[in-house]
Amino acid sequence: MRRFCHISVVLCILVISACDSADCTLMNNVACSYGFYSNGTSISLLDTLNVYACGTDSVLVNQEIGASSASIPMSYWLDADTLIFEVCGETYLLVDTVYVEKENIPHFESPDCPSKMFHAITAVRCTHNFMDDITITNPIVNYDQVENLQIHIR
């Protein structure tokens, strides 16, 4: 009986160790990184920043004060994202709309991992209310957390 117990324990250990562990990357956030600039120099906004996805009730950045950058997720299936940027002070509200055109690139790692979508930014524009211009610095949006777009503030 004791021998049977030992064999059962060994078999259980073998079965447990034979299970495949998912090899999913831990840094699996795919988001477009925006940096704020004035006269070619990185700046921090002194006021409150809010960012909304147009056509939805999604708040992507909520009441961030002193932002020098923003990491904003992109839609999975749309060919263009429309974002509303608000900068609020005590006596004013500045609103600009940003249009980001992109190609969606399906990314597969493993059947055990959630599906992801990488993106290639093809064009970007804004309504020029408080933003002077937007520059694409790195068009590929993937797991690398590098700056993709530079927002130049007036």
pLDDT tens digits, 7-59: 665 555 554 444 455 567 666 678 999 999 999 999 999 899 999 999 888 89
Share of the chain above pLDDT 70, in %: 82
Q: Would 98 be classed as within a structural domain?
A: yes
pLDDT for 67 equals 93
Residues 136-154 have pLDDT tens digits of: 999 999 988 899 999 999 8
Q: What distance in Å separates the CA atoms of residue 49 and residue 131, rounded to the nearest whole number?
A: 13
Burial class (CB in 10 A: 0-12, 13-18, 19+), 8: exposed
What b-and-e string marks burial along 101-134, b requiring 16 or more CB atoms within 10 Å of the CB? ebebeeeeeeeeeeebbbbebeebebeeebbeeb
Q: Are 43 and 37 in contact (CB under 8 A)?
A: yes
Q: Would 15 be classed as within a structural domain?
A: no
Q: What distance in Å separates the CA atoms of residue 51 and residue 85, rounded to the nearest whole number?
A: 5
Q: Would 118 be classed as within a structural domain?
A: yes
| pLDDT: which is higher, 86 or 24 | 86
Q: Would 144 be classed as within a structural domain?
A: yes
Domain that holds residue 39: 33-153
Q: Would 102 be classed as within a structural domain?
A: yes
Q: What distance in Å separates the CA atoms of residue 98 and residue 26, rounded to the nearest whole number?
A: 30
pLDDT for 21 equals 52
- Copy the structure tokens of residue 35: 């940096």
Q: Would 22 be classed as within a structural domain?
A: no
Q: Would 59 be classed as within a structural domain?
A: yes
pTM over 0.85: no
Number of domains in the chain: 1
* Residue 63 Ramachandran class (φ > 0 left, ψ -120 to 50 alpha, else beta): left
Q: Would 24 be classed as within a structural domain?
A: no
SS3 content of the chain, % helix, strand, coil (to 5): 10, 50, 40
Q: What distance in Å separates the CA atoms of residue 13 and residue 21, rounded to the nearest whole number?
A: 15
